Amino acid sequence: MRIKNETTRLPRIARGRSLTVLVNGKPVTAYEGETVAAVLLVEGFRAFRHMPASAEPRGLYCGMGICYECLVTVDGMPNVRACVTSLRDGMTIEAGAQP
């Protein structure tokens, strides 16, 4: 059974105000209060980077900032954990992988 958009049991999803961020140079609509990992997943990224030595893909794993698998570059700063970094308007995100 699929969940309908609105039911009496589930409230509507309240999202923050609309933001525009750049993901690998592409303007993307995101929402205040969400994380960098959330916008990357919505944009189709499953791997956020590749391991330097083995080129193995890495993406969202723990989702709470413990494992460091979701590292991306944000506003020119490398090795930022995507799962615990909140979005800001105009943020530039560089993921080392393509969706």
**Tens digits of residue pLDDT in 14-72:** 889 999 999 999 999 999 999 999 999 999 999 999 988 999 999 999 999 999 999 99
CA-CA distance, 37 to 45, in Å (whole number)? 9
State the DSSP H helix or E strand holding residue 76, giving kind and residue range, or none if neither: none
pLDDT band of residue 98 (cuts 50, 70, 90) is confident
State the DSSP H helix or E strand holding residue 41, giving kind and residue range, or none if neither: helix 36-42
With beta carbons less than 8 A apart as the criterion, state whether 86 and 74 touch. Answer: no
First CA to last CA across the chain, in angstroms?
Answer: 29
CATH class of 18-94: alpha beta
pTM: 0.83
